[in-house]
Structure 1
Amino acid sequence: MKLLGLNREEVKQVFKEGKVTITVYGLGKMGLPLAAVFADHGAKVIGVDINERVVEMINRGENHVKEEPGLDELVKRNVEAGRLRATTDGVEAAKQADVMVILVPTLTDERGNLKLDPVYDVAYKIAQGLEKGDIVITEATMPPGTTESLVPILEKSGLKLGEFGLAHAPERTMTGTAIRDITGQYPKIVGANDEKTLEAVIGIYETINRKGVIPMSSIKAAEAVKVFEGVYRDVNIALANELALWCEEHGLDALEVFQAANTQPYCHLHMPGAGVGGHCIPIYPWFVINLARKTNPRLIKTAREINDSMPHHVVELTIKGLNEVGKPLKGSNILVLGLTFRGGVREFTKSPTIPIIRELKEWGANVYAYDPLCTKEDAERFGAEWKEDFKDIDAIVITTDHKEFRNLDLEKIAKEARNKVIVDGRNVLEPTTAEKLGFVYLRVGRA
């Protein structure tokens, strides 16, 4: 049923009655949870993905995004109920849909220049099935202005914008909490090309999100919200890192100072650490930088420089720790704990571990790695040798905050390791415990 022209309450009603068909393009870590949530609230959902294996699994009721709690059951239930199915045929899916949601991965180079080929490819497919009254929604995070750049492609359908609706509703989710985030952790941000599209899209998202919707004045404003969220995080992490380096110089413990400062309600100092990784925080600042014409976003650029420098500082701490026990870095056996960019998630995009391993090897160290979510092949791909024990290790470098690393058996490690040096790049260990066992313990922000 076409939703353009309906008010939000009418949209909610026909949605719950199963009269709305939604196609979700991209069935990855964010797309599949969204598709399953739409289906669980009554919509008929067609998921589109280029990966045939993913499509086959979903049509069997199997979830391929294993790190998402509750998604196994959600996929199985809605496939069995006939509300969720998958296909590789994006054109046919568009023909059957009333609403098309684009949530495909977007790739960037080192300076955040977005490669939008996957988004444009989906837009061309949608144009071949677009009908009057349909609504196209982008959820993928993109530089402000990108969604509206799809209009000429979509108008190849023979329709003009206004005969179909266009909106941006940025995903505000994290791997591991996607279902929670989609259904009510935060309100949904929505911007649309006109009031009737905005009204209908508000109805769609109010159906699935308990926190409701924040309507924006334009599509571009909605795009800016998600980008600015990432910029805020990056700048504040950079501030924490810079203050942590200052604390090292002046003999202070940054975490002690930060925790006390944060008891004041206007202070929100973030956690310093080994660096910033992932698809989001290190990327979104470049959207702002690259789009700047008359302004010079100096603060944002500096924040990127600071955060990108932190892996190098971890290597410096490793050299310092080894010097304490009379060992040079060259020829030392270094065990890096963690390959992924953050704890609990098997994702390597811009992981600070990668440059840390590379630089340790440039200094002539023998680098080993272990990560509970990874394999020997993962370690080798990044230039390290897989190792699951601490025998003959000279220094341990913790680069990912996996929960398993918070409970390391330091007594056992003290007996196995050749030298007792720990560089805690994620502040997961208790310093006094390590030091009582004779470890040289270093972390970002602690002299």
Structure 2
Amino acid sequence: MVEKVVVVGLGYVGLPTAALIADKRYDVLGVDVNTRLVEMLQVGKCPLGEAEIIPVVERALHSGQLRAATVAEPADIFIICVPTPITTDKRADLSMVSKAAKATMQHVRPGNMVILESTSPIGTTGDIIAGAAREMGLDPVIDLDICYCPERVFPGNTVNEILKNDRVVGGLTPRAAMRAKAFYESFCAGKAFPVTAAEAEFSKLMENTYRDVNIALANVFAHIAERSGIDVAKVIEVANRHPRVNVHTPGPGVGGHCIPVDPWFLVESYPEDTGLIHQARLINDAQPDRLLEAARAAGLEAGEKVAILGAAYRGNIDDARDTPTEKLIDALADAGIEWVTHDPHVTHMHVHSEHPANLTNDLVSAVRGAAAVFVMTDHDAYKGLKPMSFGGPMPRLVIDGRRLIDADAFVALGVTVIRVGAPVVSASDIVLKIPA
């Protein structure tokens, strides 16, 4: 008999996961409270913009193995994959997990497996998922197999990552963990490693905190380089020749729904042990402010216009969640500076602040009349960017948070270039280099 799977939450992870499970001939129902998203799926259209996801989702829909609805149904396996953001005071907001768990448990029966994939603080599976089962009169250990199985997805390569990455599968019981292992290995090529639910929760937080702390370290190295007149990129290149060193790349901050969020779960629960993690978060969140401070020190003034190149938090995707650009926009607004945001991929931007992104996909119009240009995203469209791309008068300043532009070409036209981790370069520097 074909097992039925219900996936609750059809976002950047839940929807492709549901489609890939359906591709292995499971009967899959995707559930989401977003009626517009569900309606698109019901007519065979993929609501996500990632190129490799679209054919996988549409194939699953057209095959009939994947359906979409706003309410769950009885099934054999339930996967909860809803967002877990942080509040304004940096605490885990588990309200969506709690609502999804309670709604899901209305359809759960003894013998079912319930999996939480949402990134969560340590203990969430045992508290919220098991707690919702108890409220329905189900014993979470005897009646059900309850697990925590975090995703390891890199946007822009989502399908490949789901299929090929190894997985951590954490069970409230060893039986549950082994059942989850068999399930994931039935549609993924990567191996599944069984642990406890709490160990799996900790592993997800550890992975993203590791990345955040190491990016913060790279940004600190960039600060030192800027103050000492050294190009940090050259130093990182030679330092990484050491066989046990891998310094990350500094930049304008970190974004997405994982790296700038997950470390706060540990800081909230274990404040006495997480001073290093807390400081790393502050360093990375402050990068957009540092870029603006550098621009103002170079002459950018209130009332002027700037062009922001890139709304997405990383290159060649349409995902602008928790992007450093949002923090830059807030800082610009506080400084009385106007802005327009260009992005070739992002068509809308859900921001936490009260300030609009002023999005456009027309680079020339975005730059027209701008006193400064901030490069915030490593889109291919910005790599090696030259003055001719601006199509008119040059800005006075280019602040390159990604080290992408052709700096020499801009400086030759009198533009001052500020790069993360490097000395400021202006036309006067070129003049000084020319022999008398």
Deviation (angstroms), 1:356? 1.9
Q: State the Cα deviation string for residues 138-157 of structure 1 (Å, max 9, x = none).
A: 00101111011121211233
| Aligned residue in 1 for 2:422 | 446
Counterpart contact for 2:61–2:67, Cα < 8 Å = yes
SS of the aligned residue for 1:107 comes to: coil
| Aligned residue in 2 for 1:382 | 355
Q: State the Cα deviation string for residues 75-107 of structure 1 (Å, max 9, x = none).
A: 2322232211111122xx1x2x10000001223
Counterpart contact for 1:346–1:374, Cα < 8 Å = yes
Aligned pairs for 1:28-107 (under 5 A) are: 28-67=11-50, 69-90=51-72, 93=73, 95=74, 97-107=75-85
Q: 1:330 aligns with which of 302, 324, 328?
A: 302
Deviation (angstroms), 1:38? 0.3
| Aligned residue in 2 for 1:181 | 161
| Aligned residue in 1 for 2:385 | 408
Distance 1:277 1:76, change over 3 A: closer
* Higher alpha-carbon deviation: 136-145 or 374-383: 374-383
SS of the aligned residue for 1:62 comes to: coil
Instruction: Tell whether 2:189 aligns with 1:206.
Output: no
SS of the aligned residue for 2:12 comes to: coil
Determine the C-alpha separation between the residues in 2 that align with 1:48 and 1:377. Answer: 23
| Aligned residue in 1 for 2:288 | 311
Determine the C-alpha separation between the residues in 1 that align with 2:82 and 2:92. Answer: 13
| Aligned residue in 2 for 1:281 | 259
Counterpart contact for 1:30–1:175, Cα < 8 Å = no
Distance 1:290 1:336, change over 3 A: same
| Aligned residue in 1 for 2:430 | none
* Higher alpha-carbon deviation: 128-137 or 234-243: 128-137
* Higher alpha-carbon deviation: 426-435 or 30-39: 426-435
Partner letter of residue 329 of structure 2? Answer: I
Distance 1:245 1:219, change over 3 A: same
Distance 1:358 1:50, change over 3 A: closer
Determine the C-alpha separation between the residues in 2 that align with 1:412 and 1:28. Answer: 35
Partner letter of residue 394 of structure 1? Answer: A
- TM-score in terms of structure 1 length: 0.87
Counterpart contact for 2:45–2:58, Cα < 8 Å = yes
Q: State the Cα deviation string for residues 53-96 of structure 1 (Å, max 9, x = none).
A: 222222322211122x3333222322232211111122xx1x2x
Partner letter of residue 375 of structure 2? Answer: I
Q: 1:140 aligns with which of 111, 118, 122?
A: 118
Determine the C-alpha separation between the residues in 2 that align with 1:40 and 1:424. Answer: 43
Deviation (angstroms), 1:383? 4.5
Partner letter of residue 238 of structure 2? Answer: A
| Aligned residue in 2 for 1:112 | 90
| Aligned residue in 2 for 1:9 | none
Determine the C-alpha separation between the residues in 2 that align with 1:62 and 1:244. Answer: 44
SS of the aligned residue for 2:170 comes to: strand
Counterpart contact for 2:320–2:350, Cα < 8 Å = no
Counterpart contact for 1:321–1:441, Cα < 8 Å = no
Determine the C-alpha separation between the residues in 2 that align with 1:82 and 1:377. Answer: 32
Partner letter of residue 38 of structure 2? Answer: V
Partner letter of residue 86 of structure 1? Answer: A
Distance 1:365 1:163, change over 3 A: closer
Distance 1:376 1:349, change over 3 A: closer
Instruction: Tell whether 2:180 aligns with 1:195.
Output: no
| Aligned residue in 2 for 1:391 | 368
* Higher alpha-carbon deviation: 363-372 or 227-236: 363-372
Partner letter of residue 274 of structure 1? Answer: P
SS of the aligned residue for 1:416 comes to: coil
Partner letter of residue 291 of structure 2? Answer: V
Q: 1:155 aligns with which of 134, 141, 148?
A: 134
Contiguous gaps of at least 5 residues in structure 1 = 2-18, 323-327
Determine the C-alpha separation between the residues in 2 that align with 1:386 and 1:49. Answer: 27
Counterpart contact for 1:22–1:99, Cα < 8 Å = yes
* Higher alpha-carbon deviation: 428-437 or 307-316: 428-437
Distance 1:336 1:77, change over 3 A: closer
CA-atom RMSD in angstroms: 2.2
Determine the C-alpha separation between the residues in 2 that align with 1:440 and 1:321. Answer: 8
- TM-score in terms of structure 2 length: 0.89
Deviation (angstroms), 1:414? 7.9
Deviation (angstroms), 1:127? 2.0
| Aligned residue in 2 for 1:13 | none
Deviation (angstroms), 1:335? 1.6
Determine the C-alpha separation between the residues in 1 that align with 2:69 and 2:391. Answer: 54
Determine the C-alpha separation between the residues in 2 that align with 1:281 and 1:156. Answer: 33
Determine the C-alpha separation between the residues in 2 that align with 1:385 and 1:349. Answer: 16
Instruction: Tell whether 2:152 aligns with 1:172.
Output: yes
Deviation (angstroms), 1:234? 0.9
Deviation (angstroms), 1:283? 0.9
| Aligned residue in 2 for 1:432 | 408
Counterpart contact for 2:31–2:70, Cα < 8 Å = yes
* Higher alpha-carbon deviation: 145-154 or 351-360: 351-360
Counterpart contact for 1:111–1:286, Cα < 8 Å = no
Q: Higher relative contact order at CA 8 Å, sep ≥6: structure 1 or structure 2?
A: 1
Deviation (angstroms), 1:114? 1.9
Distance 1:157 1:89, change over 3 A: same
Counterpart contact for 1:167–1:192, Cα < 8 Å = yes
Aligned residues: 416
Contiguous gaps of at least 5 residues in structure 2 = 424-436
Determine the C-alpha separation between the residues in 1 that align with 2:55 and 2:286. Answer: 42
SS of the aligned residue for 1:315 comes to: helix
SS of the aligned residue for 2:286 comes to: helix
SS of the aligned residue for 1:115 comes to: coil
SS of the aligned residue for 2:273 comes to: coil
Distance 1:386 1:21, change over 3 A: closer
Counterpart contact for 2:386–2:405, Cα < 8 Å = no
Counterpart contact for 2:385–2:406, Cα < 8 Å = no
